[in-house]
Amino acid sequence: MIREVAKVVSNNECTSDVYELKLLVPGIAKDAKVGQFVNVYCKNQVNLLPRPISISEINGDELVLLCRAVGVGTNEFRDLKENDEIVIMGPVGHGFTICNEQRIALVGGGIGIAPLVELAKLLPKESTSVYLGIGKKEEVGFIKEELFRKECMGVKVATMDGTYGTKGTVMDILGDEIFDMIYACGPLPMLKALKKYVDKNNIKAEFSLEERMGCGGLGTCLSCVCKIKVGDSEKWEYKKVCSYGPVVDAKEVLFDE
Ligand SMILES: Cc1cc2nc3c(=O)[nH]c(=O)nc-3n(C[C@H](O)[C@H](O)[C@H](O)COP(=O)(O)OP(=O)(O)OC[C@H]3O[C@@H](n4cnc5c(N)ncnc54)[C@H](O)[C@@H]3O)c2cc1C
Ligand code: FES
């Protein structure tokens, strides 16, 4: 993990609150693996803590980040212009493992779709189906549907209000289909529902957890902990998502009801 000054290649609005930030950052890009994240530092020194953002794509010396503006940091990054410089640290954490299964699903909810984009490029096209859940049609602007269609076998989209694709959640479009492997990232209710589904059907799965992080992966604040099962026993222990994850084996992770 290194700190590096990244140069902004482009920063494009995808929807009213989501933008795609392309950064020239050769040192970090060289070591970046699918599913890892970077810590992005604010210029405004009032916000000392870096903001963790998933690596959405790794294109040579460039990293692509998909960011939703929700607060001070992510609103500051929205204003970055071409050739601006910004400090980032990374790559951080453990990413996805690439499998060779026959029936693979990528399941993304909201901005959790971001880390699945690079993953789609690395999995066997003929085995991989994509299931994306968003709130409304406007959000189609950031889900990279065309790229997923090019890289995978099929793409299904669900919107909560029914304005695009199927009305409902991503669980509704998964239906009763059975997979050998599921990769997922998205809001907690989605991951909880998916955890029940993979446990019930004994499906292998990896979840990328986007817990809140205080120290951005320095390992000092413990704000990011999640419950991880100890072996096959009933016991569990807290693990830091910033170092143990963000990608975890779905069988190991325990969510509170
Ligand atoms: C491993 C990881 C990967 C992430 N990847 C992405 C990504 O690819 N794209 C993206 O847009 N965001 C991603 N996030 C979430 C992102 O880090 C937060 O939205 C960001 O730190 C908020 O900073 P802020 O200064 O804009 O908001 P703040 O002003 O700090 O907070 C604004 C609001 O956002 C809430 N918030 C802060 N962190 C989170 C979080 N982790 N989850 C949900 N709500 C939060 C706060 O409670 C508050 O209500 C990721 C988080 C983690 C831990
Ligand atoms: S974010 Fe501080 S210990 Fe994980």
Same domain, 239 and 251: yes
| Domain stops at, among 167, 185, 207 | 207
Same domain, 23 and 65: yes
Residue 46: is its pLDDT beyond 80? no
Same domain, 64 and 12: yes
Same domain, 175 and 85: no
- Provide the pLDDT confidence category of residue 233 given band limits of 50, 70 and 90: confident
| Domain stops at, among 59, 92, 125 | 92
Same domain, 103 and 115: yes
Return the pLDDT at 242: 93
Element (H, E) at 76: helix 72-78
Alpha-carbon distance of 93 to 74, in angstroms, equals 21
Q: What is the mean pLDDT of residues 39-66?
A: 92
Radius of gyration of the chain (CA): 18
Same domain, 202 and 220: no
Return the pLDDT at 188: 95
User: What CATH number corresponds to the domain at position 164?
Assistant: 3.40.50.80
pLDDT for 92-108, tens place per residue?
A: 999 999 999 999 999 99
For 69, list phi and psi in degrees, rounded to 5. -75, 110
How far, rounded to the nearest angstrom, does the alpha carbon of residue 149 sit from its chain's CA centroid?
18
Number of neighbours of residue 196 by Cβ within 10 angstroms: 11
Count: domains in the chain: 3
Residue range(s) defining the domain that contains residue 193: 96-207
pLDDT for 108-138, tens place per residue?
A: 999 999 999 999 999 999 999 999 999 999 9
Going from the Cα of 243 to the center of ligand 2, the distance in angstroms, rounded, reads: 8
Element (H, E) at 27: helix 26-31
Return the pLDDT at 219: 81
Return the pLDDT at 212: 84
Mean pLDDT of the chain: 95
Same domain, 198 and 224: no
The CA dihedral of 245, 223, 210, 188, to the nearest 10 degrees, is 110
* Cis peptide bond N-terminal to 91, omega within 30: yes
Alpha-carbon distance of 237 to 35, in angstroms, equals 23
Same domain, 167 and 190: yes
Better pLDDT: 44 or 111: 111
Going from the Cα of 241 to the center of ligand 2, the distance in angstroms, rounded, reads: 7
Same domain, 108 and 203: yes
- Spell out which residues line ligand 2, taking CB within 6 angstroms: 213-224, 240, 242
pLDDT for 23-33, tens place per residue?
A: 999 999 999 99
ipTM: 0.96
Counting ligands in written order, the one closest to the CA of 210 is 1
For 27, list phi and psi in degrees, rounded to 5. -65, -45
State which of 53, 72, 119, 134 you would mutate to test the pocket of ligand 1, scoring each by most atoms of that ligand within 8 A of its C-beta.
53
Return the pLDDT at 115: 98
Residue 216: is its pLDDT beyond 90? no
Residues 94 and 246 sit within 8 Å (Cβ to Cβ): yes
Counting ligands in written order, the one closest to the CA of 241 is 2
> What is the phi-psi region of residue 234: left when phi exceeds 0, alpha when psi lies from -120 to 50, beta otherwise?
alpha
- Spell out which residues line ligand 1, taking CB within 6 angstroms: 37, 51-54, 66-68, 70-74, 111, 114, 210-213, 246
Residue 117 identity:
V
Q: What is the mean pLDDT of residues 60-78?
A: 97
- Provide the pLDDT confidence category of residue 204 given band limits of 50, 70 and 90: very high
User: What CATH number corresponds to the domain at position 64?
Assistant: 2.40.30.10
Counting ligands in written order, the one closest to the CA of 51 is 1
Same domain, 39 and 117: no
State which of 210, 218, 241, 242 you would mutate to test the pocket of ligand 1, scoring each by most atoms of that ligand within 8 A of its C-beta.
210
